[in-house]
Structure 1
Amino acid sequence: MKVIVLIDNNPHPLLDLYNEHGVSIYFEINDQKYLFDVGSSDKFYMNAQQLGIEIEDVDYLIISHGHNDHGGGLLKFLEVNSKAKIFISSEVKNQSFYSYRKENKRNISLDISLLERYPKRFIFLDKNSQINKNIGLICKFTDQFPLPQANRTLSVKNLNNEILDRFIHEIALIVNESRGIIIFSGCSHNGILNILHTCKEYYQKDILLCIGGTHLINSDETNSYESEEDILKIGRYINYNYPNTQIITGHCSGSNAIRSLSNVLSDKIKVFHSGFTVYTK
């Protein structure tokens, strides 16, 4: 299986590709084409064109959660692709999402009007499901491990109330292969350890690879998040309990977290960027 990161925060070291605060990942399996998230804008599409990937031919799109850095390119996708089924959490309906990071309230919602304009394109999930025997979609996660501390700066508002976001709108995708499973996670707002545990339990198989953000972001002048020891503890747990798992991360994984995790996981962790390509055997 070939996996290509169409867009990420990090630029390609050689190619002249766009980068932005967002992520979009493309892969093919059994002659079917999948897209996991569509970044913040139409730049995922521009990069796909340069990389020779036909977004028009994508069969399935999965939106990992209701934030615009993962679904901001949705309008462009709908304009160029007329056939793909689009999977998204039912919890995104009639909801607005906000960030208070650095004390500035920002609306980080999807354009939910698209759900009404293209009603036949969307499949709304409220439980763990399977697209087919190879692809599972997980939206119910264990909570036995701590959530990312930066979640406390994120809220959700329905018609009446604004509350702390519990991220019941997050979806992880699992590719079920004979040797084990591959996990795609947009931001891991439910916590990377909760996501790894839930996905392994779902298929009762070893995890070969987890690709996506960890939401272990750097502390700033306003907020303190995970300490170095907190992150090292996560790395040690992964190293001990998932010794054969490779982590490929980017987007919302801070440089401090990547450095600390690398100290524990060594060559079992890599950082992706726009245009990053990985092959699974």
Structure 2
Amino acid sequence: MTKLPPGFIHEVPQHLARPDVPQDPRTGVPIVDLENYCCGAHGFSALIQTETEGSPPHYTLFDTGPDSRSIIRNIEALKPPIELIERVVLSHWHSDHSGGLLAFLRHRRAHAPNAAPLVADLHPDRPIARGIVPPHVGKVVGRIPADPEFAQIAELGGVVETHAEGHAIAGDTVWVSGEIPRVTHFEGGLPGAVRWVESAGDGNGKGEWVKEEDIMDERYAAIDVVGKGLVIFSACSHAGIVNVVKDAVDRFSRPIYMIVGGLHLAGSDLIERIPPTVDFLANKLRPSPTYVLPMHCSGFAAKVALEEAFGEGCVPAGVGHKVIVEGSPEAENMMHGTTYQ
């Protein structure tokens, strides 16, 4: 219900504007059908639609949420054109981003059997298992649920593509990064993250947990909108959102227009990262982003700090929201000669 900027649309008006919205027979007005609305969960998933003048739109699913149920409920609520989705990109191997992939592939095969094959864009370094060691505990308290296996994805019709390097997709309208350089002194990955490692060829479960806080398989997605700049999708920002932004600006020499996703600043062990992160985005990055949409693992304290720094430029985004970013050739002409840093 929070006020949103122009181009940001809440879920309810999207439903009420659809031609198939249920009507109340008694009063004759549309029903706010909460039984069939979206369901939030601890994860991330965004459907990205990109198009250029004179070309058909491209649809890219960036991450799939944490489980087999929420993504299907949200597909049924929002009714996106699943038959037109060309590619699903997993930002990294953590199940709160990959957990819905197999369910999505099953749903697409059942409800869009004649659709073109779907590419699964994955980092090649899939872990056997990942776990977490909470601060001051000193031992692994649990493993993260298993990510989908390449064979499982292929069995459900996904065309597996592995990419460790950056590459363009969706008719060259979306850039998927390669390894994100770690250049800041205060962004130190995911504290307490560990990975299960076995000897080559073992396959017998004998192995050990090794420290893996950097999560080097993480990737971001970027779209360069004419007259606006880069829209960055950083699903979890284990690399640090400042490292993500620095890499994007260095690579494209373009301003950052919008940052969408998890900033991984939640929790008492990450609280010290919030001030330098907000200071960089609001004061050191020039020009600063027009909008920041902190979601997923960003945390309440980070959202408060970003709102203080950006005002209405810090947008409380969530499941079911639609964001429209339109290019402007006139604005692009005004941007020529500007330095971005």
Residue in 2 that maps onto 1:167? 215
Cα distance change, pair 38–118 in 1 and its aligned pair in 2 (3 A): closer
- CA offset digits 1:239-274 (Å, max 9, x no partner): 121434121111001101111222222222112211
Q: Which has the larger radius of gyration?
A: 2
Paired residues of 1:211 and 1:248 also in contact (CA < 8 A)? yes
Distance 1:148 1:95, change over 3 A: farther
Task: Identify the match of residue 128 of structure 1 among 155, 166, 184.
Answer: 166
* Paired position in structure 2 for 1:11: none
1:84 matched residue in structure 2: 118
Q: Note closer, same or farther for the CA distance 1:5–1:55 as it changes in structure 2 (3 Å cut).
A: farther
Aligned to 2:231: 182
Aligned to 1:100: 133
Partner of 2:278: 235
| Equivalent residue letter for 1:47 | N
Moved more, 153-162 or 127-136: 153-162
Q: Residue 209 of structure 2 aligns to which amino acid in structure 1?
A: E
* Mapped partners of 2:146, 2:9: distance in 1: 23
Structure 1: unaligned runs, 5 residues or longer: 7-13
Mapped partners of 1:200, 1:66: distance in 2? 25
Is the 2:189–2:240 Cα contact (8 Å) retained in structure 1? no
1:123-162 → structure 2 map (5 Å cutoff): 123-131=161-169, 132-146=171-185, 148=187, 151-160=190-199, 161-162=208-209
Cα RMSD for the two superposed structures = 2.4
3-state DSSP of counterpart to 2:305 = helix
Tell me the SS of whatever aligns to 1:252: coil
- Cα distance in 1, alignment partners of residues 10 and 297 from structure 2: 14
Using structure 2 for the length normalisation, give the TM-score: 0.71
Query: In structure 1, how many angstroms separate the alpha carbons of the residues matched to 2:10 and 2:193?
Result: 26
Distance change in 2, residues 1:203/1:110 (3 Å): farther
Match of 1:53 in 2: 80
More strand per residue: 1 or 2?
1
Contact 1:192–1:214, Cα closer than 8 Å, also in 2? yes
CA contact (8 A) 1:149 1:225 kept: no
Cα 1:121/1:140, change in 2 over 3 Å: same
Q: Secondary structure at the match of 1:69?
A: helix
| TM-score, scaled to structure 1 | 0.85
The answer for unaligned runs of 5 or more in structure 2 is 1-6, 12-32, 52-56, 110-116, 200-207, 327-341
Q: Does the C-alpha gap of structure 1 residues 4 and 35 become closer, same or farther in structure 2, counting only changes over 3 Å?
A: farther
For the 8 Å contact 1:3–1:277, the answer to whether it is kept is yes
Q: By how many angstroms is 1:109 displaced?
A: 4.3
Deviating 4+ runs (over 6 angstroms): 2-6
Once residues 5 and 44 of structure 1 are traced to their aligned partners in structure 2, the CA distance between those partners, rounded to angstroms, is 18
Question: Cα offset for 1:184?
Answer: 0.6
Q: Number of residues paired by the alignment?
A: 265
Alignment of 1:102-117 (within 5 A): 103=137, 105-113=141-149, 115-117=150-152
In the alignment, structure 1 residue 21 sits paired with structure 2 residue 42? yes
Higher relative contact order (CA 8 A, sep 6+): 1
Deviations 1:73-92 (A, max 9, x none): 01112212352211111111
Match among 50, 67, 74 for residue 41 of structure 1: 67
- CA distances 1:6-35 after superposition (whole Å, capped 9, x unpaired): 9xxxxxxx9542111111111211211111
Cα pair distance change 1:106/1:4, threshold 3 Å: farther
Kindly indicate whether the alpha-carbon contact (under 8 Å) linking 1:56 and 1:80 is maintained by their aligned counterparts in 2: no
For 1:210, the aligned partner's letter is I
